[in-house]
Chains A and B, each alone.
Chain A
Amino acid sequence: MWNTLSRMLHTGLLTESLPTCDEAAPTLETLQNDLLKILGRALCIRHVDAGSCNGCELEIQALNNPYYNLEGAGIKFVASPRHADMLLVTGPVSVNMEEALKRTYDAMPDPKWVIAIGDCGACGGVFGTSYASRGGVASIIPVNHVVMGCPPNPASLFSGILRTIASTRIE
Chain B
Amino acid sequence: MATNFMELQSASLPANVPCKLARVDRQQWLQTAEALRQSNARILALWGADDRDRDGSFHIYAAYLLPDSVLVVEHCMEDASTPSYPSLAVFFPAASRMQRAVFDLLGIATDESDTRGWLRHGGWSETLFPLRRDVDGKHQYPVASAPYPFVSVEGDGVHEIAVGPVHAGTIEPGHFRFSVVGEKVLRLEERLGYTHKGIAKLFENASQQNGHRLAARISGDSAVAFSWAYCAALEAITETVCPARAILLRALALEHERLANHLGDLGALGNDAGFAFGLTHFSRLKEDLLRANAAAFGARYLLDYLIPGGVTVDLTADARCRLLNLYDALEPSVTQMRSIYDEHAGLQDRFREAGRLERATAEELGAIGLVARASGVACDLRVDHPWPPYDTLAPKMILQSGGDVAARVQARFDEIFESLRICRALLAGPPMAEIQTPVPIAAANLLGIGLIEGWRGPVMIALKTGSGGGIRSCHAHDPSWQNWPLLEYAILGNIVPDFPLINKSFNLSYSGQDG
Residues on A close to B: CB < 8 A? 3-4, 7-8, 11, 14, 47-62, 64-67, 77, 79-81, 91-92, 94-100, 104, 125-134, 150-151, 153
- CB atoms of A94 and B220 under 8 A apart: no
Q: List 19 A-B pairs, Cβ < 8 Å.
A: A49-B171, A54-B172, A55-B221, A55-B223, A57-B172, A57-B220, A58-B220, A59-B301, A61-B283, A62-B286, A66-B280, A95-B140, A96-B121, A96-B193, A97-B165, A130-B201, A131-B139, A133-B197, A151-B301
- Identity of the chain A residue whose Cβ is nearest the Cβ of B223 in the assembled complex: A55
B360: CB under 8 A from chain A?
Answer: no
Q: How far is the CA of A126 from the CA of B169 in the complex (A)?
A: 25
Q: How far is the CA of A126 from the CA of B202 in the complex (A)?
A: 9
Q: How far is the CA of A50 from the CA of B219 in the complex (A)?
A: 14
Q: How far is the CA of A81 from the CA of B168 in the complex (A)?
A: 9
- CB atoms of B143 and A95 under 8 A apart: yes
- Identity of the chain A residue whose Cβ is nearest the Cβ of B512 in the assembled complex: A54
- CB atoms of A129 and B140 under 8 A apart: yes
Name the one of B193, B301, B514 contacting A55, with C-beta atoms under 8 angstroms: B301
Most B Cβ at <10 Å: residue of A61, A98, A99, A130: A130
Most B Cβ at <10 Å: residue of A11, A14, A58: A58
Shortest A158–chain B CB gap in Å is 13
Shortest B485–chain A CB gap in Å is 20
Shortest A148–chain B CB gap in Å is 14
Q: Is the contact region of chain A dominated by helix, strand, or loop, or is it mixed?
A: mixed
**A51-B194, A94-B196, A100-B166 given as contacts; is B214 within 8 A of A126 (CB)?**
yes
B150: CB under 8 A from chain A?
Answer: no
Name the one of B119, B213, B220 contacting A54, with C-beta atoms under 8 angstroms: B220
B327: CB under 8 A from chain A?
Answer: no
Q: How far is the CA of A52 from the CA of B197 in the complex (A)?
A: 9
Q: How far is the CA of A64 from the CA of B124 in the complex (A)?
A: 38
Q: How far is the CA of A44 from the CA of B336 in the complex (A)?
A: 34
Most A Cβ at <10 Å: residue of B139, B165, B294, B340: B165
Shortest B503–chain A CB gap in Å is 14
Q: How far is the CA of A151 from the CA of B301 in the complex (A)?
A: 8
Residues on B close to A: CB < 8 A? 119, 121, 123-124, 128, 130, 135, 137-141, 143, 165-166, 168-173, 193-199, 201-202, 213-214, 217-221, 223, 264, 277, 279-281, 283-284, 286-287, 290, 294, 300-301, 303, 336-337, 339-340, 343, 509-511, 514
**A54-B172, A58-B301 given as contacts; is B284 within 8 A of A130 (CB)?**
no
- CB atoms of A79 and B169 under 8 A apart: yes
Shortest A57–chain B CB gap in Å is 5
- CB atoms of B137 and A130 under 8 A apart: yes
Name the one of A64, A131, A150 contacting B137, with C-beta atoms under 8 angstroms: A131
Q: Identify the 5 closest CB pairs spanning chains A and B, nearest first.
A: A55-B220, A95-B123, A132-B198, A65-B283, A79-B168
Measured between beta carbons, the chain A residues less than 8 angstroms from B143 are: 95, 98-99
- CB atoms of B201 and A65 under 8 A apart: no
- CB atoms of B509 and A54 under 8 A apart: yes
Name the one of A8, A58, A81, A96 contacting B264, with C-beta atoms under 8 angstroms: A58
- CB atoms of B221 and A48 under 8 A apart: no
- CB atoms of A62 and B287 under 8 A apart: yes
Measured between beta carbons, the chain A residues less than 8 angstroms from B219 are: 53-54
Measured between beta carbons, the chain A residues less than 8 angstroms from B264 are: 58, 61
- CB atoms of B221 and A100 under 8 A apart: no
- CB atoms of B130 and A94 under 8 A apart: no
Name the one of A8, A55, A81, A126 contacting B213, with C-beta atoms under 8 angstroms: A126
If A80-B168, A94-B196, A132-B198 are given as contacts, then 5 extra A-B residue pairs at C-beta distance below 8 Å, sorted by A number, are A51-B196, A54-B172, A62-B286, A62-B290, A96-B514
**A62-B283, A131-B130 given as contacts; is B511 within 8 A of A52 (CB)?**
yes
- CB atoms of B123 and A96 under 8 A apart: yes
Q: How far is the CA of A96 from the CA of B195 in the complex (A)?
A: 7
Measured between beta carbons, the chain A residues less than 8 angstroms from B277 are: 4, 8
Measured between beta carbons, the chain A residues less than 8 angstroms from B137 are: 130-131
Measured between beta carbons, the chain B residues less than 8 angstroms from A81 are: 166
Measured between beta carbons, the chain B residues less than 8 angstroms from A128 are: 202
Name the one of B196, B214, B336, B511 contacting A7, with C-beta atoms under 8 angstroms: B336
Measured between beta carbons, the chain A residues less than 8 angstroms from B509 are: 54
Q: How far is the CA of A14 from the CA of B303 in the complex (A)?
A: 27
- CB atoms of A77 and B170 under 8 A apart: yes
Measured between beta carbons, the chain A residues less than 8 angstroms from B196 are: 51, 94-96, 132
- CB atoms of B195 and A52 under 8 A apart: yes
Most A Cβ at <10 Å: residue of B128, B130, B195, B219: B195
Shortest A100–chain B CB gap in Å is 5
- CB atoms of B202 and A100 under 8 A apart: no
- CB atoms of B218 and A53 under 8 A apart: yes
- CB atoms of B283 and A66 under 8 A apart: yes
